[in-house]
Structure 1
Amino acid sequence: MVMRLSTVILPVRRWSEGGREQWVRAEELGFHTAYTYDHLSWRVPFRDGPWFGAVPTLTAAAAATERVRLGTLVTSPNFRHPVTLTKDLLSLDDISDGRVTLGIGAGGTGFDATALGQEPWTPRERADRFGEFVPLIDRLLTEDSVSHRGIHYSADEARNIPGCVQRPRLPFAVAATGPRGMRIAARYGQSWVTTGDPKLFDSGTPEQSADAVRGQISRLGAACDEIGRDPGTVEKVLLTGFTPEGGRPMESLDAFVDFAGAYFALGIDEIVVHAPIPGTIFAADEKVFERIATEALGQLAERPA
């Protein structure tokens, strides 16, 4: 199994005041992918501070870097429409010369859910929209012209020429834990994303979290089996910071290696860590963060299988 380490850079810095340097540094440190959140704003304390748009940020990052992959983690239907989102993704894939991954999920009930003036959708409504959102984006990114009349989304001869640099389209990383989302990940995802079981964050144990992720991977495998897909062709991604361990794995290189080794052993292929942000749940020592980026995979590779 190939182990990968990636990072999330929250879009909270002005480009001229350290924003650009973060993305360049992520490439220098050797991260596989540098992601950012796709929100209009996020939870406290970020709610009342700077927060920039994901697509413009990734476009600037594409121009400032050469090798590191770039992506959203994750985009959702909360304030996106498939037609306009696809045009942005097609352009970003071109500007980055094929280095973009679309992380995509059903969305939640946070600030994004009501920013356009709508009432928050129920879990069923979010799942219904997601079930239409992802297949339509798949078509829009692989067909020159698409017309669609759905319950939630429509397209009328929407054109996306010349198509993606990555063929047949840029990869999807589908965030899902429920049965409907797992089926979408199995059918459309090149990878699947989890943050663990949110019910365990406050009072669970690391062992319970590992068991929960093991169960999620098993359910993803069952969803793949239903459509005759090899589960091994869907890469498994863990976004850290939301399991019971919280930020403790970022306290030292050894702590991270122990944490990552446990999840790699479960079948996780890629672990994503947040770039440090002082005064938040993502606070961490910058030197430890850089040691993790440059040394953790080497130490993990030396461990007995």
Structure 2
Amino acid sequence: MSLRLSTVILPVRRWQEGGRGQWERAEELGFHTAYTYDHLSWRVPFRDGPWFGALPTLTAAATVTGRMRLGTLVTSPNFRHPVTLAKELLSLDDISEGRVTLGIGAGGSGFDATVLGRRAWTARERADRFAEFVPLLDRLLTEDAVTYEGTYYSADEARGIPGCVQRPRLPFAVAATGPRGLRLAARHGQAWVTTGDPRLSATGTPEQSRAALRGQLAGLGRACAEVGREVAEVDKVLLTGFTPEGAGLLESVDAFVDFAGRHAELGFTELVVHAPIPDSVFAADEAVFEKVATEAAAQLA
């Protein structure tokens, strides 16, 4: 069994006051990828504290790391446009020498949905936009020039020269659980991302959570079959911390190895753990977090 371990570093620290060190340490610990959330602000307790931009943070991280991959979990149409996003991603892929993965999802109804002064889109409206956003972004990152007129997005001779370092473009990790999103993951994603079933996070059992994840994986398989693709070609990424185990999976290396092994058996190929943040839902023992990075990976191999 081979399972990659990655981390997500929330952009809550000034770069010169611990931010830089987190990214450098993540690479030292051997994480496969270090992601960050692509929000303008996020839930309590982060809403009224520091929160820095994802793409500038990843650009800075690219200059102080050399092996570890970097990415977003996740970028969404809530405040992004495919044309400008493509240009920034192309630049980041160049600066990082081809180490970027774009985690991308339909977005939610939180602060990002209203910060630009509009009403939050319904789930159906988010899905409609996402269905147009992803294919257009795919074209913008693979073609030299794109002209497109859609329902929600347009591009007029948008240039993508010289293209990504990674060919044909940087990989997409598509976050989705519903049929429409899973079809996008099957058609455009090099990876698929889930956090589990949110209805089970607070009151469900680990067994119920794994059953729900098994159902999501089956849905991905059906979506891949619809587009004539082998589901084995798609990496399966679980962003941890939102299943019934919560932060408990970082109580010890043994607890994490047990959790990881059970989810690897389901078919997941990458687990992402949050770097600890004191006095938050992501509070955890830093020493255990580091042991998970260094010792759990060896056990799982």
For normalisation by structure 2, the TM-score amounts to: 0.99
Distance in 1, matches of 2:300 and 2:167, equals 32
SS of 1:142 mapped into structure 2: coil
Corresponding residue of 2:55: 55
Corresponding residue of 2:281: 281
Deviation, 1:202, is 1.2
Corresponding residue of 2:37: 37
Gaps of 5+ in 2: none
Corresponding residue of 1:220: 220
Distance in 2, matches of 1:8 and 1:242, equals 13
Corresponding residue of 1:169: 169
Corresponding residue of 2:178: 178
Corresponding residue of 1:299: 299
Deviation, 1:139, is 0.1
Deviation, 1:2, is 3.0
Instruction: State the 4+ residue runs in structure 1 displaced beyond 6 angstroms.
Output: none
Corresponding residue of 1:111: 111
For residue 216 of structure 2, what is the amino acid of its counterpart?
Q
Distance in 2, matches of 1:216 and 1:99, equals 28
Distance in 1, matches of 2:146 and 2:237, equals 31
SS of 1:221 mapped into structure 2: helix
SS of 1:247 mapped into structure 2: helix
CA contact (8 A) 2:105 2:176 kept: yes
CA contact (8 A) 2:146 2:156 kept: yes
**Structure 1 residue 189 and structure 2 residue 189: aligned?**
yes
SS of 1:7 mapped into structure 2: strand
Distance in 2, matches of 1:109 and 1:69, equals 29
**Structure 1 residue 148 and structure 2 residue 148: aligned?**
yes
Aligned positions of 1:43-122 closer than 5 A: 43-122=43-122
For residue 200 of structure 1, what is the amino acid of its counterpart?
L
Distance in 2, matches of 1:279 and 1:147, equals 48
Residues 218-266 of structure 1: per-residue CA shift (max 9 Å, x gap): 0000000011100000000000000011100001101000111110010
Distance in 2, matches of 1:254 and 1:24, equals 26
Deviation, 1:300, is 1.9
Deviation, 1:298, is 1.3
Residues 64-93 of structure 1: per-residue CA shift (max 9 Å, x gap): 100000000000000000000000000000
For normalisation by structure 1, the TM-score amounts to: 0.98
Distance in 2, matches of 1:177 and 1:21, equals 34
Distance in 1, matches of 2:56 and 2:299, equals 36
Q: How many residues align?
A: 301
Residues 93-140 of structure 1: per-residue CA shift (max 9 Å, x gap): 000000000000000000000000011000100000000000000000
CA contact (8 A) 2:101 2:173 kept: yes
Corresponding residue of 2:137: 137
SS of 2:157 mapped into structure 1: strand
Corresponding residue of 1:207: 207
Distance in 2, matches of 1:118 and 1:26, equals 37
CA RMSD across the alignment: 0.5
Distance in 2, matches of 1:181 and 1:14, equals 35
CA contact (8 A) 2:9 2:36 kept: yes
CA contact (8 A) 2:163 2:169 kept: yes
Distance in 1, matches of 2:118 and 2:33, equals 33
Distance in 1, matches of 2:300 and 2:89, equals 34
CA contact (8 A) 2:2 2:300 kept: no
SS of 2:246 mapped into structure 1: coil
Distance in 2, matches of 1:55 and 1:231, equals 30
Gaps of 5+ in 1: none
Distance in 2, matches of 1:277 and 1:128, equals 35
SS of 2:77 mapped into structure 1: coil
Residues 13-37 of structure 1: per-residue CA shift (max 9 Å, x gap): 0000000000000000000000000
Corresponding residue of 2:269: 269
**Structure 1 residue 259 and structure 2 residue 240: aligned?**
no
Distance in 2, matches of 1:146 and 1:129, equals 18
Distance in 1, matches of 2:299 and 2:138, equals 38
